[in-house]
Amino acid sequence: MSGAAGAGSRLTSMAVMARGLATDDTIEMPITGLEPMLVRPEASTDPVDVLVAEIYARSGGRFVDGLQVAAMLEAQGVTDRTARVQYGYHDVFELAHEVRVRLAGLAHRSPRRPPRHRKRGQTLRELCHGALYLLPVMLFPAVATVTHPRPPVLAIVAAGLLGWVWAGGITWLAYQYVNAGDERAAGRFLALSAVTGVGVAGLLGAVIAVADGGGPTVALLVPAVAAYQLASTLLLYLRDEVWLVALMSPAVIAGVVFALSDRRVPETALIPAVACVAVTFAVAVRRALLVPGTPAGPGVRAVMRGRWATFALVVAHTALLAALILQGQVPYLAGRFDVLVAALPLVVSMGFVEWRVRRFGERSQGMLNDPWGPRHFRRRVWLLLAANVGACCLVAAVAAVTLLAALRHAGWLTPAATAMAATQVALAGACFLIFVLAGHGGYGRLCAVLAVALGAHLAGRPFLATAVAWPAPPAALTDTLANLGSAVLLLGLLSVALSPSLGHVRQYR
């Protein structure tokens, strides 16, 4: 057995090779099971038939060409000498070619497709996001009572803006870690960033309390709102919505009881709220820190790979979106309850929008498996997009009509509230398009479109107030109509912004 010649002589034993095939698990064939062959070759004395049957049983006969068969045979110990002595071919390549030809005559087994997992749980989780975003609203009456007669508008805007942008930025960065295969680092990064974000919010609250007044309530309000936003961001990222619901429920119940009760003691709502937010935040941070995984070790610079400009665009588009939505609502914090409440349909329907975004991605990816060309795909994906935008608008419209009916029943329905509700319907469709465009990496286009829509709202207000031939239109109506116009414009602009990428197959991996 010494030397290559000895090795060659051993190879003449088919049994040895078969044992090698059977025992080794180093390079497994695509189908390694012992499934019965679909086409069992007739008993043959030709050793090549035996070899073909062996290979077919293990691989399903799927080879690209004869060279791949040769590579496989060599890895199993077949040499040129074996090919000559045992099989009667000049070398492994000729033997492999013959094996390939004979394999072609057999039926090919398709590789098993992984079973489809139903995503009902995920759908339910996503649909409930709207309700989760609604939770802080329940505490608004208590906050308004404490700060009466001067609502802390600046503090609410600052907290909302900071929390929104911070959450958007750190989530994007965390996904860069995930894409680099380091979920553990992503969790730790989120936890650390959330704590830092609340610290920044605390400082901001203190500055606003000193500069704008409002005292300790304002100083506490900003970090509390930011803490809730960041905690919910972390728990949604970790798919732990149930923790958010469970931990915030006491605060919500206290807020609802306060709103419905005659004897209004705001502390009964606010103290549980602060406690719940603190606990929820602590739990979210801890769970993010406990994300398992093997540390891959790359720092944020390695993970980012020079994509800081993209990150800046991510932050910018988040800030613009937050500004666009908040600036439509902020003027009504001071007392226009009807208009403020009319902004809720968007919040309620956000879960549905997120669900449809995921399904849109899945459906469009699924369409790639149909036997059509790119043109057909492009047409179908536009139709799918239109259907989903319509569905998002419809759900928001149902919520809006319900709300408007309730307002009318209460005698609070005004034209401004109606315009605000219509704006939310358009924004629901726009949010769907924003998520799709962000998924395509079109952050630059998003920034441009959002900036134009924001500018249109700001410019449209005085235009409507002066140019439209109304007999002195109320300021609220002018503003909400301008807002509606900008939302519709946003829808159109987003459709245009999507057109360069939507029909491109490469966007749907």
Partner 1 sequence: MSEGTYPFAHGGVSVWCDQLVRGMPEYRWEVVALTVDGSERSRWESPANLDRVVSIPLWCAGGARRRRTRGRPATVFRAAYDTFLTALITPPDPSPDRATVQRSRFLLALRGLYEFAADGGDLAAAVGSNAALGAMQDRWREVGAALGADHPALAGRPLRLTLADAAQAARLIGHMLRPLTVPPTRADVVHCAMNGLSALVGMTAKWTHDTPLLISEHGVYLRERYLEQMHGDLPHPVTVLLLGFHRSVAGAAYHLADALAPHSAYNRRWQLRNGADPGRMWTMYNGVAPELFPSAKTEPDEPTVVFVGRIDPLKDLHTLIRAFAVVRDRVPGARLRIYGSATDLRYRDSCLALVERLGLADAARLEGNAPDLVEAYHSGNIVALTSISEGFPYTVIEAMACGRTMVCTNVGGVSEAVGDAGFVVPPRDVDAVADACVTLLRDPELRSRLAAEARQRVLDRFTLTQSLADYRGLYERLVTPHLERAPTGAARRAAVGRVATTDLRGLASALDPASRTGAGGRGGAPWSRGLWDVHDTSAWIRR
| Candidate ranges 115-123, 143-151, 299-307, 420-428; the one touching partner 1 (CB under 8 A) | 299-307
Length of the chain: 509
CB of 87 to partner 1, least distance (A): 15
Q: Is 112 in the site for partner 1 (CB under 8 A)?
A: no
Q: Is 8 in the site for partner 1 (CB under 8 A)?
A: yes
Q: Which of 55, 100, 419, 427 is in the footprint of partner 1 by CB under 8 A?
A: 100
| C-alpha to C-alpha distance for 305 and 216, rounded to whole angstroms | 43
| C-alpha to C-alpha distance for 71 and 80, rounded to whole angstroms | 12
Binding mask 223-252 for partner 1 (x = CB under 8 A): ------------------------------
Report the site for partner 1 in 259-298 (rule: CB under 8 A).
294, 298
Q: Which of 196, 249, 334, 372 is in the footprint of partner 1 by CB under 8 A?
A: 372
CB of 224 to partner 1, least distance (A): 38
Give the nearer residue to partner 1 in terms of CB position, either 10 or 408.
Answer: 10
Q: Which of 306, 409, 467, 471 is in the footprint of partner 1 by CB under 8 A?
A: 306
| C-alpha to C-alpha distance for 450 and 107, rounded to whole angstroms | 56
Q: Which of 48, 72, 273, 276 is in the footprint of partner 1 by CB under 8 A?
A: 72
Q: Is 25 in the site for partner 1 (CB under 8 A)?
A: yes
Report the site for partner 1 in 43-62 (rule: CB under 8 A).
59, 61-62
Residue 212 makes CB contacts below 8 A (sequence gap 6+) with 152, 154, 155, 218
Q: Is 444 in the site for partner 1 (CB under 8 A)?
A: no
Give the nearer residue to partner 1 in terms of CB position, either 104 or 386.
Answer: 104
Q: Is 34 in the site for partner 1 (CB under 8 A)?
A: no
Give the nearer residue to partner 1 in terms of CB position, either 56 or 164.
Answer: 56
Q: Which two structure tokens, joined as six digits, stand for 217?
A: 């309530």
Report the site for partner 1 in 138-197 (rule: CB under 8 A).
none
Q: Is 466 in the site for partner 1 (CB under 8 A)?
A: no
Closest CA to 144 of 157, 135, 153: 153
Q: Is 21 in the site for partner 1 (CB under 8 A)?
A: yes
Give the nearer residue to partner 1 in terms of CB position, either 21 or 131.
Answer: 21
| C-alpha to C-alpha distance for 59 and 33, rounded to whole angstroms | 9
Q: Which of 45, 370, 411, 471 is in the footprint of partner 1 by CB under 8 A?
A: 370
Give the nearer residue to partner 1 in terms of CB position, either 33 or 306.
Answer: 306
| C-alpha to C-alpha distance for 75 and 79, rounded to whole angstroms | 9
Measured in degrees and rounded to the nearest 5, phi and psi for residue 265 equal -115, 100
Show the 3-state SS of 391-452.
HHHHHHHHHHHHHHHHHHHHCCCCHHHHHHHHHHHHHHHHHHHHHHHHHCCCHHHHHHHHHH
* Cis before 41? omega within 30: no
| C-alpha to C-alpha distance for 291 and 274, rounded to whole angstroms | 26
Closest CA to 33 of 103, 116, 112: 112
Q: Which of 35, 38, 44, 75 is in the footprint of partner 1 by CB under 8 A?
A: 75
Q: Which of 3, 115, 295, 411 is in the footprint of partner 1 by CB under 8 A?
A: 3
CA dihedral 7, 8, 12, 16 (to 10 degrees): 30
Block residue for tokens 């798919």: 239
| C-alpha to C-alpha distance for 15 and 10, rounded to whole angstroms | 10
Q: Which of 124, 242, 302, 334 is in the footprint of partner 1 by CB under 8 A?
A: 302
Q: Which of 41, 54, 79, 257 is in the footprint of partner 1 by CB under 8 A?
A: 79
Q: Is 116 in the site for partner 1 (CB under 8 A)?
A: no
CB of 41 to partner 1, least distance (A): 15
| C-alpha to C-alpha distance for 68 and 286, rounded to whole angstroms | 51
